[in-house]
Amino acid sequence: MNLKNFEKYFDGAILKRGLDYYKSGRVENLEFDDGTWTAYVIGSDDYEVTVAITNNGDIEDTSCDCPYDWGDYCKHQAAVLFAVRNQAAPKSSENKQKLEAVLGKLDKQTLLGILLDVAGRDRGLKEELLMRYSDETDALGYAKWLIKSAIKSVKRRGFVEYGDTERAAEGAYNVLEMADDLLEADDIITAVSLCTVVLDEMVALLDMCDDSDGDVGGAIGEALEKISKWIDTHAQKDSEKLFDIIYQHAIKTMYDGWISWRMDLLGACLPLCSNSTNRARLEAYLAEMPVRQAYEWGKDYDLRERQKLQYSIIEWFDGDAAAENFIDQHVENPDFRRIAIQNAVSSKQYDKALKLCLGGEEKEELSSESASGWKHFRYEIYEETKDTEAQKALAKELFLDGSFDYFIKLKALYEQDEWPLIRLEILEELDIQDHSEVYVEILIHEKLKLRLLDYCKNNIDDITELYPHLLPECKNDVGVIFTKYIQQQAETANDRSMYRSVCDLIRLYKKACGAAALDIRKELASQYPKRPAFLDELSKVK
């Protein structure tokens, strides 16, 4: 798009309204600086338009802060482009550069009057100044207004649609930037408070928007991250007030359905718990913290997260012995059970470690969950204690459950001359129990091609995956199985898609066994002369 022909990129009605705006003098403060034009278009609201333009008139970018989203360009952009094109020459940026010198000569009262006048004509600037420079209470109120205004600009019938959440969250991101500035000015209290305002509004917004793009969730995550980072580096300043701000926010009922965010906030308070009052408040809340009862998984998750934070407090401030004692008292929490097992192994308390593993297995089996994780721990203990017989029994159990690595471990536990008989016993057991997947993996690993061929004869649809493990010794048998399978598929094929699948099988057969596969193509063509679509697909097999 170029300044000479921008009209053809605009909707006709939008272009006409933009021209009317330009002719009626609604484009004000048109300025040019460093390749970019800026102007305000005056209407029911005042909107800022920018146009980035090259020396030859190519428009590289243009934007407007109005809420119009029915097309690529709005009437305000059209009005400014007409103004730019009809400008005799760009206003020199030298005037802008002189502004600092001019303002520097003015007294405080005159500057105050100028600032009030400008802010009176730009509500956004006014609110930003108030938020940045008011006392804490006013700043929070203005932050809330800024966030709500952005949401309101795109909310339709009480909902923010997919694609509008970025604009809905703009106010929140602006507030977070201002919080950064306040932190640099060493006002951590207001900075953290602004983050809690963002969290209030964005968590509420999640219930009335489609946040598939993650704009709202991103603002929440950024606010949580800032609070955690700032508390970590400013823990000794205003610790009780900071703790109270975060704590009172974290226990709000809005987090009852977002427990992980509540725990992130409470976890951010950890550095503040060197203050005994803060620690006592946090521990008292955790001891009585409500847990979700609707779903067992929710209840378990809440309990585990609570205990992890309780453990962190003890680990931070009470030392290793107290932390280990807490773990031993809460081994029903799988996270702590793992740590307890590792601690027991490290201190060579193998009986204790095994007891913990077996307790974990029993608990998981009672809840219909997989107990294999604890069995892996138990196997490591048997390795550590060189209990070969226990390793053999458990390795067999684990590879039958699908962990094929344990078949390799099992093989390594036997002497070379013992292995063939053990392997035969395993294969016969698998054959009876129909562990087909594990059975096939063993046949492939052990290169037992005749057994694998027998398996394929009884499961001919697996030939497409297993034939590479049978070649070249069983090439003729592979061809026979392929032919049988192709014939079966051709019998049931009744549309072009299925015919193509049959032809793909012929091509795979050719890849496996060579040109002999083309005989089946001729056979099928003569067998199904009244299927023209099939004949057409067969003719494409070369």
pLDDT 10s digits, 70-88: 788 999 999 999 999 987 5
**Which residues partner with 33 through β-bridges?**
36
pLDDT of residue 238: 83
Question: For residue 124, is pLDDT > 60?
Answer: no
Is residue 51 exposed (0-12), middle (13-18) or buried (19+ Cβ within 10 Å)?
A: buried
Cis peptide before 472 (omega within 30 of 0): yes
Q: How far apart are CA 471 and CA 457, in angstroms?
A: 15
Average pLDDT value for residue range 480-498: 95
- Amino acid in position 110: T
CA-to-CA dists, residue 175 to 11, 160, 208, angstroms = 35, 20, 21
Counts for the chain of helices (H) and strands (E), in that order: 28, 4
Question: For residue 381, is pLDDT > 60?
Answer: yes
The structure's pTM equals 0.60
Question: For residue 353, is pLDDT > 90?
Answer: yes
pLDDT of residue 242: 94
Question: For residue 181, is pLDDT > 60?
Answer: yes
pLDDT bucket at 296, cuts 50 / 70 / 90: very low
Q: Residue 486: which residues within 8 A CB-CB, separation 6 or more?
A: 502, 505, 506, 509, 520, 524
pLDDT of residue 235: 67
Question: For residue 293, is pLDDT > 60?
Answer: no
Q: How far apart are CA 266 and CA 246, in angstroms?
A: 7
Average pLDDT value for residue range 164-191: 91
Q: How far apart are CA 165 and CA 215, in angstroms?
A: 6
Q: How far apart are CA 225 and CA 243, in angstroms?
A: 16
pLDDT of residue 321: 93
Is residue 156 within 8 A of residue 202, CB to CB? The reply is no
Closest CA to 230 of 201, 280, 195: 195
Average pLDDT value for residue range 421-431: 89
Q: How far apart are CA 240 and CA 232, in angstroms?
A: 14
pLDDT of residue 69: 73
Q: How far apart are CA 163 and CA 152, in angstroms?
A: 15
pLDDT bucket at 234, cuts 50 / 70 / 90: confident
pLDDT bucket at 134, cuts 50 / 70 / 90: low
Helix (H, G, I), strand (E, B) or coil at 528: coil
Q: What strands lie across the sheet with 59-64, from one edge to the other?
A: 27-33, 36-42, 46-53, 59-64
Closest CA to 246 of 310, 315, 173, 189: 189
Average pLDDT value for residue range 278-297: 79
Closest CA to 266 of 295, 293, 287, 238: 287
Query: In which residue are the tokens 């974990």 written?
Result: 360
pLDDT of residue 294: 45
- Amino acid in position 131: M
Average pLDDT value for residue range 343-372: 85
What value does the mean pLDDT of the chain take? 88
- What pLDDT, in 10s, does the model give residues 196-225? 999 999 999 999 999 999 999 999 999 999
Average pLDDT value for residue range 370-378: 84
CB atoms within 10 A of CB 287: 9
Average pLDDT value for residue range 329-352: 94
Question: For residue 132, is pLDDT > 70?
Answer: no
Please give the residue that has the higher pLDDT: either 161 or 293.
Answer: 161
pLDDT of residue 135: 56
Q: Residue 52: which residues within 8 A CB-CB, separation 6 or more?
A: 35, 36, 59, 60, 61, 62
Question: For residue 336, is pLDDT > 80?
Answer: yes
Q: What does the angle CA 396 – CA 401 – CA 404 come to, to the nearest 5 degrees?
A: 65
Is residue 508 within 8 A of residue 465, CB to CB? The reply is no
Strands (E), 6-158: 27-33, 36-42, 46-53, 59-64
Closest CA to 168 of 185, 147, 183, 199: 147
pLDDT of residue 32: 87
Q: What is the largest CA-CA distance in the chain?
A: 103
Average pLDDT value for residue range 423-440: 82
pLDDT of residue 93: 47
Q: How far apart are CA 12 and CA 375, in angstroms?
A: 72
Average pLDDT value for residue range 178-205: 93
Q: Residue 19: which residues within 8 A CB-CB, separation 6 or more?
A: 78, 79, 82
Pairing, β 36-42 against β 27-33 = antiparallel
Is residue 279 within 8 A of residue 245, CB to CB? The reply is no
Closest CA to 124 of 40, 50, 220, 68: 40
Question: For residue 43, is pLDDT > 80?
Answer: no
Cis peptide before 532 (omega within 30 of 0): no
> For 44, phi and psi rounded to 5 degrees?
-65, -30
Q: How far apart are CA 424 and CA 426, in angstroms?
A: 5
Please give the residue that has the higher pLDDT: either 355 or 435.
Answer: 355
pLDDT of residue 391: 97
C-alpha torsion 488→489→494→495, nearest 10: -170
- Show the DSSP H helices in 447-539 as ranges: 449-458, 463-466, 475-492, 496-513, 517-527, 532-539
Average pLDDT value for residue range 163-172: 93
